[in-house]
Structure 1
C-alpha cells in the first residue's frame, strides 16, 4: 500500500479539509450500505481508502478508522470539539485534588460552546447505535424532538462559524493541534512578519513534528504529503518552517502543496501601506513555500461566485463554508488516482484506469524539460455529460481555472496535463465507461486548435457523493445525480444535499505558460517594493526579519521560474 499523509495549516485550509474528509466519510458509509447505488458499494474493488486512513484501537479495545491527518490552527478554532476528538475520550491523568497554594484564588471559566443541530444529531445517532449494540430498545420513533434534516441544513447554511461545525468525521487525538498563546484574531494575523518564529517558538516545532512522525512512522510505503496551507496571512511562514523541517527529515518523500485562499482574503486594501504589505506578503509567501515542495498549486479566486467555475453553482463569497466546498471537491477529485489500485492482469479495466501516485504526478508535471513546479488547477463541477466533439459542451470546454492571476485561452504546445474524471454520465443518464470518456476527450482534442504535449487521463465510475452537511451551492439546473437540465428545477434557486445526492466531477492539473502572470506579478512586486533603491517596502521587510541577501535569493528563485516558462526569454537567450 502507498499511504498519503495530509497536513492542513490555517483556517481556510481546515474549512476545505472538513469538506474533504466529509466526502471520504460519506464514501465509506455508502460502501457499507446495502441499499446504496452499486457504483458506491463496488468502489472498494478499485479504490483503497487505507491510503488516506489508518486503523487503530482505543484503550477499551474499540476498533477505529481515522484520517491520517495533522491539522494546525488557532487555539479556540475547534468550536465545540475537543482537541483530542471524541472517539478516544482521552482526559488528563493528573490528579485533581493536589493543592500547592494555600492563599486566595479566583477561577475564571467560560461556558463550553454548545453543539449545533448537526453535531447534536451526530451525537444522538451515536448514542442510538450504542444502545442498539447493547441490545437496548431506543424508542426513537416515539421521540417528538427528533432533529429533521431540513432543520440541520438551514442551521448550517446560516450559522457556521468553525470548520468543526459541519465535520462528520472522528479524528485521532494526534490530529488536531492548536497554536497556544496566539492572542489575536484572523484580522490581526494577516501578514508574513506576524507569523515568523511561531513554529520554532517554545516547543511548538518539535510538538508538531512529533505528531507528524506518529503518522509517518506507521506507514509501510508512504507515497507523499498532501499539504494544504492558508497562505493569505501568518500561517504561511508557519507552514514554510514546517515544510523545511519535513524536507530535512523526509528527504525523498514528495510534497504536493496547495496554497489556498478564501474570497474574503482578496479584499482590496484600504491604504497604500496595506497594499504594499499584501503585495510583499504574496511574493515572500510564494517564494518560501515553493522552496520546500515538489509541486505547488495556488488555489483561490478573488470572486468565486462570478467566475466561470461557478457556472452551475450559487456560491456566496462571504461564506468560507460555501467556497471551501468547491475547492474541497476539486482536491478530492485530484486525489482519486492516488488511491486507485494499479491495474493487474485480472483487473476489470472497464471500471477504472489511470492509477498514479504523488511522485508520478510530480514527475509528469514538474519533471519535464521546463522543470515547471507551479501548476494550475481546473475543475468542472458538476462535469457535463459525455457528448460529441463540440468543445463548448465537452468535459474540456467546462474545465475552468481555480488558480488566480492566470492567462486564459492561451495556446501552449508544450503544456503537460493530468486530468481526472469520475462519475461521468453518458447521454442516456448512465455512468460512462472508460472508453466512452477517453473517446470523448480524444475527440475534442482532435478537433481543437491546439492540444497539450502530453495528457494523462484517470477515469473511475464513482461520482462525488454529497453528504448532509454540504452547503446549498448548486444552481437550479443541477439534478439529483448531477444531471444538467436545460430549464430550472422549480423551487429554490439554490439546492443542497437534500436535492442533489451525487455529482460527476472533472479536474485537471496543468503545467502551462498560462501561470506566467501569477509569477511575474510576484517577481515585479518583490523588485519594485522591496529590492530597488528607495523601495517603499524596505523597512517592512526589515521589521519582518529579512535581510537584503535573503530578498535577492528570493528574487533569483522567482526569476528562474519565469525564465523557465517564458518562451520569449528563452528565444532571447538562444539568439545571444
Structure 2
C-alpha cells in the first residue's frame, strides 16, 4: 500500500481541496452504484491511496480523506471541527449546580446551513426535503430539489464548506485560533511569520499530521496545497521545514496556489514593493523545503486559453478553484493506479507512477527543487475531432502564471494524464487508442519534449451536484465538444454536464524562466541593491541582510538551472 497524505493550508487551497474531495467522493459513489456508469467501476484505481478506514466510538465504520486542512478561525462555516461522523451520541455537559450566583452566557449565532448542506443532512436522515422544508411529497422531487440546490450555490458561496459533500475525520480540520477571517489584512509574508510557532500551534499541527502518517503502511508522499499569496505562506514554510526534518525521505509535491483578487494592480508604489517582495520571498522559502513546486493561478482565468470552453467569474473563488481542482485530480490519478504486473489487465488504466517517480522524472539529478508547469485541457477534445479543432496537445494550456509560449526546450520532460477521452461521438477511447493518438500527436509536433510519461484511465471526471455552472454552451452531457452552441444556454452545470474528458500535464521546461526571473529581479531591485526601498520592510519581516542574500542566491540558482546553456557558467566556488 502506497498512501498519500494531503495537506491544505489557506482559504483558496481549501476551496480547491473541497472540489477535489467532491470528485473523489463522486467516484466512490458511482463505483458503488449498481446502475452507474461501468467506467467508474474500475479495479485499476485504488482509492485507499487517498482515504483511510476508521471507526467511530459508537462502532460505525468510516472512510475519510487522509487530510489535514488549516484555515482561519471562523472559515469552516456551519461545519463542526469534529466533522459529522464523530458527533454521534455526544451530549452537552451536565449543568453545574455548585455556583449560586448569577450566570451570564455569551454566544454567537451559528452559521446556517445552505440548501445543499440541508439536503445532505436530510438524505442521511432519510427524510424528504422539498424546497428546504422537511417532509411532504411533490412531483419530480429530485429534479426540483437539485435545481434549487444548484441555483443556491451559484448565487453565492461564502465558505469552502458550503459545497463540501465529504465527511472529515476530527483530526483533519485545524482552525488557527486567534487568527480570524477578515479580522485584518493577512496579505504579506511578514504578518504570518510567527503564526506557526506561537502558542504551540506548530506542535499541535505536527501531531495531527503524525496521526495520519503513522497509520500508513508505506507512505509515498505528501500532496501539499498552499495559498501562497499572503500570510499563510510562512505558516506553510515553517510546516514544510518540520516535515523535511521529520520525514526526510518522503517527497513533497507542493502546489502554490493563488485565488482571484490576489493579482489586483496595487494602488501605490508601497503596495507594489510589498507584493513583489512577498512573491520573491514566499516562492524561495516554499521551494526550499520540497522536491517539486507547481505554481498555480492565472491573473485572469476567464481571459485565458485554458477557459476556452468555460464561463468563469474571476472574482469568484468557487469558480476558479473548480478548474484548479479538476487539474489536480487529473495529475493525482497516476498515484492511485495499480501497477501492472505481467498478467494484469490494462484495459481500464495504464501508466501508474508514485509521487517520488514524478519528482525524479521531472527534476532528475540536475534540477533539484524543481519548478513544474501545470497545463490543462478542460474538457479535452475528441481524439478524432473535426479538422477545424485543435489537437489535444494544442488544447493543453497553462494554469501556471508568467509562462513563456512556443519555447523549444530540448531538455523538457513531461508527465501527462488523459482520462475519459472520447474517440468519436458516443464512444469513449480505449487505453490503447489514447496512447496511439498521443504518440502520433507528438510525432507530428514541431517541438517535442526530451521525454514524456503518459498515464491513461478510461474513467472521465465526474461532475458532482455542487460543482459550479461554468461550462459553456459548446459542452455536451458527456463533456463532448459540440459543433454548434446549445440555444438558450450560456453556462451549464452539473444538471447538464455529467462528466467530462480531461487532460493535464506537469512539465519541466525553461518556459518557466519569466516566472523565476521576475521574482529574482524584483528581489534585487527592491531588497538587495543599495538604497532599495524594501530593505527596512524585509527587516520588519525578520530577514537580515545575509538571509535576503541567501534568498536571492536560491532564486539565482533556480534560474541558472533551467536557463538554456547555463551549463557553460563556471561556479564561483
Q: Which TM-score band (shorter chain)?
A: over 0.9
Range with greater deviation from structure 2 (534-543 or 434-443): 434-443
Q: Is the Cα contact below 8 Å between 1:387 and 1:393 reproduced in 2?
A: no
Residue 150 of structure 2 is aligned to residue 128 of structure 1: no
- Distance in 1 between the 2:138 and 2:200 partners? 52
Deviation of 1:430 (Å): 1.0
Alpha-carbon RMSD: 2.1
User: Is there any run of 5+ residues in structure 1 with no aligned partner, and where?
Assistant: 131-137
Q: Is the Cα contact below 8 Å between 1:333 and 1:422 reproduced in 2?
A: yes
Q: What is aligned with 1:135?
A: none
Change over 3 Å in CA distance of 1:215–1:140 after alignment to 2: farther
Identify which of 84, 87, 92 aligns with 2:85.
87
User: Is there any run of 5+ residues in structure 2 with no aligned partner, and where?
Assistant: 129-133
Deviation of 1:139 (Å): 7.3
Range with greater deviation from structure 2 (77-86 or 392-401): 392-401
Q: What CA deviation, in whole Å up to 9, does each residue of 1:186-235 have, x standing for no partner? A: 76000000001110101211111111011000000000000000000000
Change over 3 Å in CA distance of 1:95–1:119 after alignment to 2: closer
Q: Name the SS for the 1:54 alignment partner.
A: strand
Identify which of 262, 278, 302 aligns with 1:265.
262
Range with greater deviation from structure 2 (86-95 or 151-160): 86-95
Change over 3 Å in CA distance of 1:344–1:129 after alignment to 2: farther
- Distance in 2 between the 1:101 and 1:560 partners? 66
Deviation of 1:429 (Å): 2.6
Q: What is aligned with 1:494?
A: 491
Identify which of 111, 129, 133 aligns with 1:113.
111
Identify which of 51, 62, 65 aligns with 1:64.
62
- Distance in 2 between the 1:144 and 1:383 partners? 33
- Distance in 2 between the 1:60 and 1:427 partners? 51
Change over 3 Å in CA distance of 1:433–1:517 after alignment to 2: same
Q: What is aligned with 1:340?
A: 337
Residue 401 of structure 2 is aligned to residue 404 of structure 1: yes
Residue 162 of structure 2 is aligned to residue 162 of structure 1: no
Identify which of 435, 441, 444 aligns with 1:438.
435
Q: Is the Cα contact below 8 Å between 2:266 and 2:272 reproduced in 1?
A: yes
- Distance in 2 between the 1:141 and 1:347 partners? 49
Q: Is the Cα contact below 8 Å between 1:375 and 1:512 reproduced in 2?
A: yes
- Distance in 1 between the 2:110 and 2:546 partners? 49
Q: What CA deviation, in whole Å up to 9, does each residue of 1:170-199 have, x standing for no partner? A: 000000000001145176000000001110
Q: What is aligned with 1:133?
A: none
- Distance in 2 between the 1:221 and 1:307 partners? 40
Q: What CA deviation, in whole Å up to 9, does each residue of 1:209-265 have, x standing for no partner? A: 111011000000000000000000000000000000011111110000000001211
Q: Is the Cα contact below 8 Å between 1:389 and 1:447 reproduced in 2?
A: no
- Distance in 2 between the 1:48 and 1:140 partners? 40
Aligned pairs for 1:470-485 within 5 A: 470-485=467-482
Q: What is aligned with 2:460?
A: 463
Q: What is aligned with 2:44?
A: 46
- Distance in 2 between the 1:425 and 1:454 partners? 25
Q: What CA deviation, in whole Å up to 9, does each residue of 1:89-128 have, x standing for no partner? A: 0798894434787665532211111110000000100000
Q: What is aligned with 1:188?
A: 185
Change over 3 Å in CA distance of 1:140–1:213 after alignment to 2: farther
Range with greater deviation from structure 2 (537-546 or 347-356): 347-356
TM-score of the aligned structures, taking structure 1 as reference length: 0.94
Q: Name the SS for the 1:269 alignment partner.
A: coil
Residue 206 of structure 2 is aligned to residue 209 of structure 1: yes
Q: Is the Cα contact below 8 Å between 2:403 and 2:514 reproduced in 1?
A: yes
Deviation of 1:129 (Å): 7.8
- Distance in 2 between the 1:150 and 1:531 partners? 56
Q: Name the SS for the 2:110 alignment partner.
A: coil
Q: Is the Cα contact below 8 Å between 1:287 and 1:554 reproduced in 2?
A: yes
Identify which of 528, 537, 541 aligns with 2:538.
541
Range with greater deviation from structure 2 (143-152 or 334-343): 143-152
Q: What CA deviation, in whole Å up to 9, does each residue of 1:394-427 have, x standing for no partner? A: 1111000000011011111110000000000002
Residue 95 of structure 2 is aligned to residue 97 of structure 1: yes
Q: Name the SS for the 1:118 alignment partner.
A: helix
Deviation of 1:428 (Å): 3.5
- Distance in 1 between the 2:400 and 2:25 partners? 27
Aligned pairs for 1:387-398 within 5 A: 387=384, 393-398=390-395
Q: What CA deviation, in whole Å up to 9, does each residue of 1:141-180 have, x standing for no partner? A: 4699987111100100012000000000000000000000
Q: What is aligned with 1:21?
A: 21
Q: What is aligned with 2:131?
A: none
Change over 3 Å in CA distance of 1:79–1:107 after alignment to 2: same
Q: Is the Cα contact below 8 Å between 1:391 and 1:444 reproduced in 2?
A: no
